């Protein structure tokens, strides 16, 4: 222990864990100590005790450099806490958390939690489960109230398209959610911030965090606001029309006298119970789009959407 040097002190357990994760992404391992026990959930210990991060003395200078490079100095000389960039996310979602630890929890991927040896970091999988249920309920409620002309089958088809991984991934991208996810080193290196499945999971966890922080009305308001344009598409195109990109792509290539699209399974990843399928859509020998999804059908739809955007951009 005499080889360890304390390089960071704070009264926030959340901030300490974030700084620790930051150091680990740069290959600097640290040890956490505090005057209070860690909870399984992120917590603030302001006024209760100090949380300290220590590293081996040979890495102390590098650790300080990394920390300082991620601080923001304001005009009045005050240094902003490292995770105050969540301010941008709160502005994007138009909701301010009373307990920002819930937002932190929602953005923590299992890869980040698995790499934390202290056991003080919990992943967002339980929040994903809750958020999925809340999202499904709100979408079903809106469809029931605002689309009375849809029969049960049409409502089910539309709901499935709206809560799909591809749809949630796109909405997450619009919020730049990937920039705020807390990932492990391995997931970071393999492009986790751009993976549709991870973005969709974090989006569901975000919904749950808003619900837990502010109640069901705030969660509903967020979902309705986020899906406003999508529901407008449903009104224009009818049941399921919000995501029938394969049909739209087929019509587009036929209008250009091109061969029909061909969908190829490029590969799969993940465990059997959460497998992701990677699909490429090929037209006239050219790959026009690639996408991943929890089923080949969803991956094909998303690949078709990417291909459509490419064709429209080329015009």
Contacts of 80 (CB under 8 A, 6+ apart): 71, 72, 73, 74
**If pLDDT is split at 50, 70 and 90, which confidence band does 138 have?**
very high
Half-sphere exposure of 261 (CA within 13 A, CB side): 28
Per-residue pLDDT tens digits for 30-84: 888 876 554 433 443 334 467 888 999 899 998 888 877 665 544 444 444 545 5
Residues labelled catalytic: 132, 204
Mean pLDDT of the residues in the chain? 83
**What is the C-alpha separation between 52 and 206, in angstroms, rounded?**
29
**If pLDDT is split at 50, 70 and 90, which confidence band does 214 have?**
very high
pTM exceeds 0.75 for this model: no
Among candidate residues 194, 16, 174, 181, the one with its CA nearest the CA of residue 103? 181
| Structural domains of the chain, with CATH | 1-80 (3.30.70.790), 125-242 (1.10.1520.10), 245-314 (3.30.160.20)
Average pLDDT over residues 163-187: 89
Per-residue pLDDT tens digits for 226-260: 999 899 888 887 765 555 788 888 888 888 888 88
Per-residue pLDDT tens digits for 94-130: 999 988 888 989 999 999 888 876 666 788 999 999 9
Among candidate residues 199, 51, 180, 41, the one with its CA nearest the CA of residue 122? 41
Per-residue pLDDT tens digits for 249-298: 888 888 888 888 999 999 888 777 778 889 999 998 999 999 888 888 88
Helix (H, G, I), strand (E, B) or coil at 56: strand
Average pLDDT over residues 210-238: 91
């Amino acid at each position: 222990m005499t080889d360890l040097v304390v390089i960071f002190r704070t009264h926030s357990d959340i901030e300490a864990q974030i700084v620790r994760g930051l150091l680990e992404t740069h290959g600097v391992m640290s040890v956490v100590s505090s005057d209070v026990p860690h909870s399984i959930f992120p917590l603030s210990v302001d006024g209760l005790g100090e949380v300290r991060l220590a590293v081996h003395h040979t890495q102390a200078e590098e650790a300080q450099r990394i920390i300082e490079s991620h601080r923001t100095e304001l005009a009045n000389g005050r240094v902003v806490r490292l995770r105050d960039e969540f301010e941008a996310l709160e502005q994007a979602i138009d909701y301010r958390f009373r307990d920002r630890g819930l937002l932190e929890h929602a953005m923590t991927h299992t890869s980040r939690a698995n790499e934390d040896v202290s056991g003080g970091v919990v992943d967002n999988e339980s929040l994903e489960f809750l958020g999925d249920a809340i999202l499904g309920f709100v979408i079903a409620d809106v469809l029931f109230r605002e689309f009375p002309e849809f029969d049960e089958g049409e409502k089910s088809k539309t709901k499935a398209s709206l809560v799909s991984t591809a749809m949630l991934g796109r909405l997450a991208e619009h919020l730049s959610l990937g920039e705020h996810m807390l990932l492990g080193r391995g997931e970071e290196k393999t492009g986790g911030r751009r993976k549709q499945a991870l973005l969709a999971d974090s989006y569901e966890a975000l919904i749950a965090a808003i619900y837990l922080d502010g109640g069901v009305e705030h969660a509903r308001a967020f979902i309705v606001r986020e899906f406003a344009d999508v529901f407008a598409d449903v009104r224009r195109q009818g049941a399921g029309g919000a995501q029938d990109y394969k049909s739209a792509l087929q019509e587009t290539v036929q209008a250009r006298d091109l061969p029909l699209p061909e969908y190829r399974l490029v590969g799969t990843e993940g465990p059997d119970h959460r497998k992701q399928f990677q699909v490429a859509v090929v037209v006239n020998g050219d790959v026009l789009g690639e996408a991943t999804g929890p089923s080949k059908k969803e991956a094909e739809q998303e690949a078709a959407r990417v291909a459509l955007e490419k064709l429209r951009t080329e015009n």
